[in-house]
Chain A
């Protein structure tokens, strides 16, 4: 969900599978973990690289909208908390890059693909963070939506991915709570502060719903990824779960979810709600969201500006190593 629209490689019926592919599928069906050096279908490997790469890129690009507020946090305590959260996102990106590298792709290749636009990151990070209340809304809604997807992914079939997700989930609930805590403070504050909180919810509600990807009826890659257990739930299942969990939290804050069609459906035991504007979603994914150019530009600049530093440390390490050998 930090991974959206991940293209999956072909789907085969059991009859079409080679004996090796069938044995592989049966291992997954039995709940066994697949480990790096074991045989796997090329499609499984490619789809995983795409998904984990996109997930890692989302964590890294996801630092930018919140990093925007570190210098302007209202108190020293809030600043320290936000710093810790943004540092966690860097860590999450690193866990996932390492896990993706076990599939035979290099870190530099992943970076190159992000910078050239060949790999995506989540659409959500292409929206601006305009006020301090957005730090609350991002933690509460964006991290909340991420958790919804990441908790089941702890059971994914690929060992390194599963272990990275377990680490990430342990740390993620702090993120959502700190966001909700900001929202509670603002909603208990002055009318102006509460209006800021409402405005942040208004702007982030639909982009958060888009994080789960297109509706199941338009989601073409799900079946194979679900058979391989690299996707555990359908987009609509997770979106429904997210809405059902979040609406009461908004009520507690005294905020209004910006959806006139939102109504409890007794029969299905969940809310009916409006779908986001999917044309907006596809426009943002295609690179035409409010902040796409700024976000990618910041990443490319950081990479280019850091080149002399990476090279310098490497040169120092090589020199020190050769001096050690000479001394022996």
Chain B
């Protein structure tokens, strides 16, 4: 039985100068073919101006069970948001 083509994660930069964004994955033998396939699978309607392909097994991800320790510390730091501070109305826009 022959081996399956490796899995690649596909990132596309849209028209409007935003970051590359993850759009999905696909199988391809190598990076060049992954880009060609990504063009056909994920940009049939002008969705992008640039493609990144990354072997799926090269991505390290945070574990769902770390959600608490990783993200909770930010919850208690409300002073990081501008709305935490009351600025008198006569000061105007700040």
Q: Which residues of A contact B (CB under 8 A)?
A: 35, 37-39, 84, 87-88, 91, 94-95, 98-99, 101, 106-108, 163-164, 167, 171, 307, 310-311, 313-314, 316-317, 320-321
Chain A proximity mask over B1-34: 1 for CB below 8 Å, otherwise 0: 1111101000000000000000011110110010
Asked whether B93 is an interface residue with its Cβ less than 8 Å from the other chain, the reply is no
The secondary-structure label for the interface of chain A is helix
Quote the shortest CB–CB distance from B93 to chain A (angstroms).
36
Q: Which residues of B contact A (CB under 8 A)?
A: 1-5, 7, 24-27, 29-30, 33, 40-41, 44-45, 61, 63-64
- Which A residue sits closest to B62, measured CB to CB? A37
B3 CB contact (under 8 Å) in A98, A314, A321: A314
Quote the shortest CB–CB distance from A114 to chain B (angstroms).
15
Quote the shortest CB–CB distance from B64 to chain A (angstroms).
5
Query: Taking A91-B44, A94-B41 as contacts, is the C-beta distance between A321 and B64 under 8 angstroms?
Result: no
**Assembly CA distance A192 to B27 (angstroms):** 47
Complex interface: chain B residues within 8 A of A38 (CB): 64
| B24, A98: Cβ atoms closer than 8 Å | yes
| B64, A98: Cβ atoms closer than 8 Å | no
Query: Taking A91-B41, A91-B44 as contacts, is the C-beta distance between A313 and B29 under 8 angstroms?
Result: yes
Query: Taking A91-B40, A95-B24, A171-B45 as contacts, is the C-beta distance between A317 and B29 under 8 angstroms?
Result: yes
Complex interface: chain B residues within 8 A of A321 (CB): 30
| B5, A314: Cβ atoms closer than 8 Å | yes
Query: Taking A37-B64, A164-B24 as contacts, is the C-beta distance between A101 and B5 under 8 angstroms?
Result: no
**Assembly CA distance A107 to B45 (angstroms):** 26
Query: Taking A91-B44, A98-B25 as contacts, is the C-beta distance between A37 and B61 under 8 angstroms?
Result: yes
Complex interface: chain B residues within 8 A of A91 (CB): 40-41, 44
Complex interface: chain A residues within 8 A of B33 (CB): 313, 317
- Which B residue sits closest to A102, measured CB to CB? B25
| B40, A320: Cβ atoms closer than 8 Å | no
B5 CB contact (under 8 Å) in A84, A163, A310: A310
A317 CB contact (under 8 Å) in B1, B25, B30, B61: B30
Complex interface: chain B residues within 8 A of A95 (CB): 24, 41
Q: List 8 A-B contacts (CB under 8 A).
A: A87-B44, A94-B26, A94-B41, A101-B7, A171-B44, A313-B29, A314-B3, A316-B30
Complex interface: chain B residues within 8 A of A39 (CB): 64
Closest 6 A/B residue pairs (Cβ): A317-B30, A317-B29, A313-B29, A38-B64, A98-B25, A311-B2
Quote the shortest CB–CB distance from B77 to chain A (angstroms).
24
Complex interface: chain A residues within 8 A of B4 (CB): 106-108
- Which A residue sits closest to B63, measured CB to CB? A37
With A87-B44, A98-B7, A316-B30 given, name 6 new contacts (CB 8 A): A95-B41, A307-B2, A311-B2, A313-B29, A317-B29, A320-B30
**Assembly CA distance A122 to B45 (angstroms):** 27
Complex interface: chain A residues within 8 A of B5 (CB): 310, 313-314
| B2, A310: Cβ atoms closer than 8 Å | yes
A316 CB contact (under 8 Å) in B26, B29, B63: B29
- Which A residue sits closest to B37, measured CB to CB? A94
B29 CB contact (under 8 Å) in A35, A37, A314: A314
**Assembly CA distance A307 to B3 (angstroms):** 10
| B29, A98: Cβ atoms closer than 8 Å | no
- Which B residue sits closest to A308, measured CB to CB? B2
Complex interface: chain B residues within 8 A of A108 (CB): 1, 4
Q: Which of the listed residues A87, A98, A163, A307 has the most CB atoms from chain B within 10 Å of its own CB? A: A98
**Assembly CA distance A323 to B3 (angstroms):** 20
**Assembly CA distance A314 to B1 (angstroms):** 13
Complex interface: chain B residues within 8 A of A99 (CB): 24
Quote the shortest CB–CB distance from A45 to chain B (angstroms).
15
- Which B residue sits closest to A92, measured CB to CB? B41
**Assembly CA distance A163 to B41 (angstroms):** 15
- Which B residue sits closest to A84, measured CB to CB? B44
